[in-house]
Amino acid sequence: MTIGEMFRQDYGRVITTRRILYWLVAMVALLVVGTTIGLIWANSSDLAGAFAGVTNIVSIVGIVLLLIALAVRRRRR
């Protein structure tokens, strides 16, 4: 067994499709929260605007990475 085969075998056990989908839902929820904070409080507080910007960036990057992981996971089936 090569190192690549061992890695693929461990990867399949650790990251399940269900876990990826749960994290994807969490990232979408974070995006909604960040957008809501940005729309409601950003014009009255610089801190709220910064928080909204950071949460939106983190959630968008997280969504993209999780969608890539989901595509790789489904392709390997």
DSSP codes joined into one string, 32-60:
HHHHHHHHHHTTT-HHHHHHHHHHHHHHH
pLDDT digits 0-9 by tens, 4-50 = 565 555 555 567 888 989 999 999 999 999 888 888 887 787 888 88
Euclidean distance between CA atoms 45 and 64, whole angstroms: 29
Q: How is residue 12 annotated by DSSP? A: H
What pTM does this model have?
0.73
11, 29, 26: which is closest to 69 by C-alpha?
Answer: 11
Domain layout of the chain by residue ranges: 16-75
Which one has a higher pLDDT value, 2 or 68? Answer: 68
Residue-level pLDDT at 32? 93
| Residue at 31: amino acid letter | L
Residue-level pLDDT at 17? 85
